A = this chain, B = another copy of it.
């Protein structure tokens, strides 16, 4: 039961010139279920990506990063669900390399022009034979209009596909931005068990695209948390094919801020969709921290609140047990926090100030806000002028059920 997750009509998902997608069922975890997705990119596309900070980085993450840094032209992506190919040691790396070799042969590309991605169970060998055997089928199905199907084929515990598609003008030139994402648990800052793929037919210089990708990740996929678990496989990719004839070489281009904003909006939407579809989520919660001395400090407080199981279960219960939020702020690690300067709002309701409860606060007001499906928690620290926003969800029975049952 995703929270206000909008799925566009299939007719509103626009193909991106220069991007084709092929899908197949490799039977990696279950039979007759689309689990293999191939992207083919036109020559001269620019591709940039950011990856998980987890030290147990999955084999496909290591190989993708290596290929991006050693080859100048990425031309294909291959994504499997059902197995993360993580904590699989040297055989895992061999499986990821074999996948790139085989797809490279089929598409007449160097193996290093292929980026592999995997998502699913950790610590189990990837059945790479099944995967490789289905590659020809995926390649045969390559089509420009498969974005909607791809949003489905990369799902794991997701209940809904996550798609964002929009058209903007860069000068007079129509520009398409379409992207998909997946992820529902093991979601935490600095990349979650999430995959995000965003494409545009505008052209962007590779070095610039790299900077944009990192900066946009920090506004979107690096600002969500479901359970505080940063996965082994998180990857976010932006592809710019240049097929619409617009080429952006520097931040000085008049098109740069327009494209940046549109890509950032798309990434933010795709990231928020992951939270909206988070395992067991019934509420979408925005935690805004203001008046911090630094962005890092604001994030520390925001994540302490967003990740507290006690806060999250209170949201699930629509119970304004707001002392739990103050408690989380208190242990977030801001050593010299002056609690008498702090103010806490739930929606527009001032709940706490001067180190205690706002004397005018009525529990009925908190109750009313808690019953909404979209809730904003605003915290002013009274220390500086930096702010940060983090997105999360509540913690329900369903989360326990899903995660107790996922593996078996």
Q: Mark A345-373, 1 if CB is under 8 A from B, else 0.
A: 00000011011110000000000000000
With a cutoff of 8 Å between Cβ atoms, the chain B residues found around residue A329 in the complex are 55-56
Of B122, B229, B397, the contact of A401 (CB 8 Å cutoff): B397
Q: Is the CB of A232 within 8 A of B55?
A: no
With a cutoff of 8 Å between Cβ atoms, the chain B residues found around residue A355 in the complex are 56, 87-90
- Interface segment among A37-45, A165-173, A254-262, A314-322: the answer is A314-322
Per assembly, the copies of the chain total: 2
What separation, in Å, do the CA atoms of A84 and B327 have in the docked complex? 11
With a cutoff of 8 Å between Cβ atoms, the chain B residues found around residue A236 in the complex are none
User: Is A91 positioned at the interface, with any CB of B under 8 Å from its CB?
Assistant: yes
Measured between C-beta atoms, what is the minimum distance from A282 to chain B in Å? 11
Of B87, B316, B328, the contact of A352 (CB 8 Å cutoff): B87
Q: Is the CB of B326 within 8 A of A122?
A: yes
Q: Is the CB of A357 within 8 A of B397?
A: no
With a cutoff of 8 Å between Cβ atoms, the chain B residues found around residue A407 in the complex are 314, 317, 319-321
User: Is A124 positioned at the interface, with any CB of B under 8 Å from its CB?
Assistant: yes
Q: A89-B356, A309-B403, A330-B57 are in contact. Are A323 and B84 (CB under 8 A)?
A: yes
With a cutoff of 8 Å between Cβ atoms, the chain B residues found around residue A314 in the complex are 403-404, 407
Q: Which residue of chain B lies nearest to A280 when distances are taken between CB atoms in the complex?
A: B400
User: Is A334 positioned at the interface, with any CB of B under 8 Å from its CB?
Assistant: yes
Chain A contributes a number of interface residues (CB within 8 A of B) equal to 70
User: Is A146 positioned at the interface, with any CB of B under 8 Å from its CB?
Assistant: no
Of B122, B323, B331, B340, the contact of A327 (CB 8 Å cutoff): B122
User: Is A142 positioned at the interface, with any CB of B under 8 Å from its CB?
Assistant: no
With a cutoff of 8 Å between Cβ atoms, the chain B residues found around residue A356 in the complex are 87-92, 123
With a cutoff of 8 Å between Cβ atoms, the chain B residues found around residue A405 in the complex are 317, 319
What separation, in Å, do the CA atoms of A103 and B290 have in the docked complex? 42
What separation, in Å, do the CA atoms of A408 and B320 have in the docked complex? 9
Q: Which residue of chain B lies nearest to A56 when distances are taken between CB atoms in the complex?
A: B330
Q: Is the CB of B229 within 8 A of A404?
A: no
With a cutoff of 8 Å between Cβ atoms, the chain B residues found around residue A54 in the complex are 327, 330-331
Q: Which residue of chain B lies nearest to A329 when distances are taken between CB atoms in the complex?
A: B56
Q: Is the CB of A123 within 8 A of B357?
A: yes
Of B84, B90, B326, B408, the contact of A319 (CB 8 Å cutoff): B408
Measured between C-beta atoms, what is the minimum distance from A29 to chain B in Å? 14
Measured between C-beta atoms, what is the minimum distance from A229 to chain B in Å? 5
Of B87, B125, B403, the contact of A326 (CB 8 Å cutoff): B87
Q: Which residue of chain B lies nearest to A327 when distances are taken between CB atoms in the complex?
A: B232
Of B185, B326, B400, the contact of A123 (CB 8 Å cutoff): B326
Using CB atoms and an 8 Å cutoff, list the residues of chain A in contact with chain B. Answer: 53-57, 84, 86-92, 121-125, 185-186, 188, 227-232, 307-310, 313-314, 316-317, 319-324, 326-331, 334-335, 337, 339-340, 351-352, 354-357, 395-397, 399-401, 403-408
Sample 17 A-B pairs with CB under 8 A, ordered by A number.
A54-B330, A55-B329, A56-B327, A56-B329, A87-B326, A87-B355, A121-B321, A123-B356, A229-B309, A229-B324, A230-B331, A232-B327, A309-B399, A314-B403, A316-B400, A317-B403, A319-B405
